[in-house]
Chain A
């Protein structure tokens, strides 16, 4: 177990390094941030001073080297646009995204898994066909379009919910979160539903596929022969058996939504990290881009590790071996 963790972590370090190089070179290729930052009428002298100040006159390898050594000193750099440290910039935006993603993941799970179980339990029924049709809509209709429809319906026509932005926040433990106030909830619920639809569709289909397969399994027949009621067979026997693919996709989805909830955040004007990264790409805010993408890589590596550890809990046949 310990050896396994060491192996996985050293693997993670390699991945993070490789990614940081790719990101650095990629961002370098996009363009020169100075052109965007300064007034085109500025003198050549001001321009060159700025370039020197940001170290942009150095060769690429040296810029990268400086970046890495700064990271090891806990400094991810300063935003060229906001002129504050990237760390505090990202962490000021992170709670908004985390709360949005959390609510949407809970909605997707609470609806998606039971609906998938039902659709797999009674595959021929009208209800199951309806669920499957809706799940196709869930991940084929573009998010931004559904988001705009929601705003049209619930904010503009009915006037029940605010059309965008984050509501009042209150302090909960160490964070300011809008989930602690009713007004905050009224703001978060619509974008959260919007964000959950894709995941819901995915969970429904995965759960259904697993359920259909499990219903024909010998251990289910044996459980029936013992006189167990179907309900108990589904929740005590089947659910655990089919949870591995569900956990895998769930983990990956969690990561990608945390990192790239961009579309929903833009449509609902939600001040989260997704919007931050898009803004910084538009403004060529190099330190923010690089640091943010590296943080995303770390996030994914961590989620994958957690998913693997959960596997071992779920399926006793999974053995965690060092470096595997």
Chain B
């Protein structure tokens, strides 16, 4: 099966007055139709910028400087601005973190959705509203026809995020990039949305990139997992491989710090230090200063090591079981 989304060597740089910062450094992965890829990392690891780079929506002064992004075989970086705009929303869509902010507060849900329908398919507004109603129905919103007349502030956070997901689904895109879409929601709502997304990926065959800092969320949702650190993907493999048998010390550290994996009241291990500033990365492996396995060797660029398709960027990968 060919990949719906193929990212290869993607590099995004921010040229600021105080110097150039590489927020996304040589990132490669691919997602097949109907599969969910979890892109995991702490804040500042470049996971959101990766999502925006794929969408072609990196804010100034950021710029994608290298690599390719292919959706359904179309190389996005070779497209003109207007052709790229036509891809957005129709072939690849995005859902954002904060459902309170992403919908326009002064427009009715129906008007916003109809606008999103009609920008890619010419049709009377009445039909566009009907399309929108169906999309709301698919994501499990009760009495969708009434919701179309509502303003965003009249809906709860969970409902708004469902609306945003419905908007992403309007044109049955091949790829959806979901940037921490459940982070701002209650845990119970989070579970519902996750189940809903899993079902949609299976039913519609959309490839989903789920960007999150929460390894616990992706472990139950994703088929494949990429772990990002300081702009690079440090480990990549199937969910079972990465969760069950992590090879990068950073992944191991993240897994160890999930409370649910420990006895209540026991000591919760944590990764020492904090995410490095991208403008002041150490030479070689960026995780070196926080790593318990670091040696003199780690001052040089870490090699890529592959085992059964599980790829890790480390001098001293864990051998695991």
A residues lining the B interface (CB < 8 Å): 216-219, 221-229, 232, 236-237, 240-241, 314-317
Contact = CB atoms under 8 A, between A and B. Distances in A.
A228 B105 contact: no
A128 B119 CA distance: 29
Contacts of B96: 218, 221-222, 225
A244 to B, nearest CB: 9
Given A217-B101, A225-B88, A227-B89, 19 more contacts: A219-B102, A222-B94, A222-B96, A222-B102, A222-B103, A223-B104, A224-B88, A225-B55, A225-B96, A226-B115, A227-B119, A228-B115, A228-B119, A232-B115, A237-B107, A314-B106, A315-B105, A317-B105, A317-B151
B89 A237 contact: no
A227 B87 contact: yes
Contacts of A222: 94, 96, 102-103, 164
Interface in B86-116: 86-90, 93-94, 96, 98, 101-107, 115-116
A221 B199 CA distance: 27
Given A227-B119, A232-B119, A316 B89 contact: no
Contact of A227 (B86, B98, B101, B104): B86
B85 interface: yes
B84 to A, nearest CB: 9
Contacts of B104: 219, 223, 237, 241
9 contacts: A218-B98, A225-B88, A227-B86, A227-B90, A227-B119, A228-B116, A240-B106, A241-B104, A316-B151
A227 B88 contact: yes
Nearest to A244: B106
Given A237-B107, A315-B105, A317-B151, A225 B94 contact: yes
B259 to A, nearest CB: 30
Contacts of A226: 88-89, 93, 115-116, 119, 167
Contacts of B103: 219, 222
Contacts of A241: 104-106
Q: Which of A216, A227, A241 has the most CB of B within 10 A?
A: A227
Contacts of B57: 221, 224-225
Nearest to B177: A225
Given A221-B96, A232-B119, A317 B107 contact: no
A216 B90 CA distance: 23
B120 interface: yes
Contacts of B106: 240-241, 314-317
A228 B170 CA distance: 14
A228 B101 CA distance: 17
A226 B163 CA distance: 13
A317 B100 CA distance: 13
Interface string B199-213: 000000000000000
Contact of A219 (B55, B86, B101, B153): B101
B94 to A, nearest CB: 4
A99 to B, nearest CB: 33
A317 B107 CA distance: 11
A236 B119 CA distance: 12
Contacts of B85: 227, 229
A217 B96 CA distance: 12
Nearest to A316: B151
A312 to B, nearest CB: 11
Contacts of B98: 218
A217 B104 CA distance: 10
Nearest to B116: A226
Interface in B47-92: 55, 57, 59, 85-90
Contacts of A227: 85-90, 116, 119-120
Nearest to B52: A221
In the A-B complex, the 4 residue pairs with the closest CB atoms: A227-B89, A218-B101, A227-B88, A226-B89
A229 to B, nearest CB: 6
B96 to A, nearest CB: 6
Nearest to A228: B119
A227 B103 CA distance: 15
Nearest to B108: A316
A113 B176 CA distance: 37
Nearest to B102: A222
A316 B104 CA distance: 11
Contacts of B119: 226-229, 232
Contacts of B153: 316-317
A120 B106 CA distance: 20
A314 B85 CA distance: 29
A229 B104 CA distance: 16
B115 to A, nearest CB: 6
Contacts of A316: 105-106, 151, 153
B284 to A, nearest CB: 35
Nearest to B164: A222
A311 to B, nearest CB: 11
B164 A236 contact: no
A226 B105 CA distance: 17
A220 to B, nearest CB: 9
B312 to A, nearest CB: 32
Nearest to A237: B104
A83 B86 CA distance: 72
B122 to A, nearest CB: 14
Contacts of B87: 227
Which among A224, A225, A236 has the greatest number of chain B C-beta atoms within 10 A?
Answer: A225
A316 B93 CA distance: 28
A221 B94 CA distance: 10
Contacts of A224: 57, 88
A229 B98 CA distance: 23
